[in-house]
Amino acid sequence: MLTLWSDINRMFRTVDLLQDSINGMLSELNRSYRLGTGLTSERGMVRTNLYDLGGKFEIIAEVPGSTKDDLNIKIQGNYLELSGEKKSDIPEGYSTHRMERETGTFTRSFTLPADVNVDGVEATVKNGMLRLVLPKSEAAKPRQITIS
């Protein structure tokens, strides 16, 4: 009876080791997925870079396959929201064997470090890249103070 119990105990320890290995592997895959370094990116996530150029911000966003008609930009104070749609380009009559490029709607929002002058915003789309130039409001622009 003692041998049977030790065999069962050894089997459970082996299963625990296997489960720990699988959990570690899935945890690493999940971490890579969240950081965008894995096999796929987070669903619906538009990758962006935000630059502070002193008197203005510049945002570069990846929007492959989107045209200016597919994109919406909303700004209020220092809140920016990008939304749009990545449309499917499957030709009519074709069947899909693999689909890695995401389609559907997306939304990405930011709280910018300062308020934006909405009247001076410039937006362009070229080669799947959205470029936004967002001038800071007068109150948010840095000023040189002279000492008397």
Residue 17, pLDDT score:
82
Single-letter residue type at 63 = V
53 and 125 in a single domain? The answer is: yes
Contacts of 12 (CB under 8 A, 6+ apart): none
Asked if 46 and 60 count as a contact pair (C-beta separation under 8 A), the reply is: no
Asked if 135 and 117 count as a contact pair (C-beta separation under 8 A), the reply is: yes
Alpha helices in the chain (DSSP H): 2-35
Residue 37, pLDDT score:
43
Between CA 1 and CA 19, with CA 7 as vertex, the angle to 5 degrees is 145
Kindly give the confidence (pLDDT) of every residue in the chain, 148 residues in length, as a single tens digit, with 9 standing for 90 and above.
Answer: 556 777 787 887 888 888 878 877 777 666 555 554 433 345 557 889 999 998 899 999 998 888 899 999 999 888 999 998 887 778 888 888 777 777 788 888 889 998 999 999 999 999 989 999 999 988 766 777 888 8
Q: How many domains does the chain have?
A: 2
Residue 122, pLDDT score:
95
The Cα–Cα gap between 9 and 12 comes to: 5
CATH number reported for the structural domain that contains residue 113 in this entry: 2.60.40.790
2 and 31 in a single domain? The answer is: yes
What residue numbers bound the domain in which 68 lies? 48-88+101-135
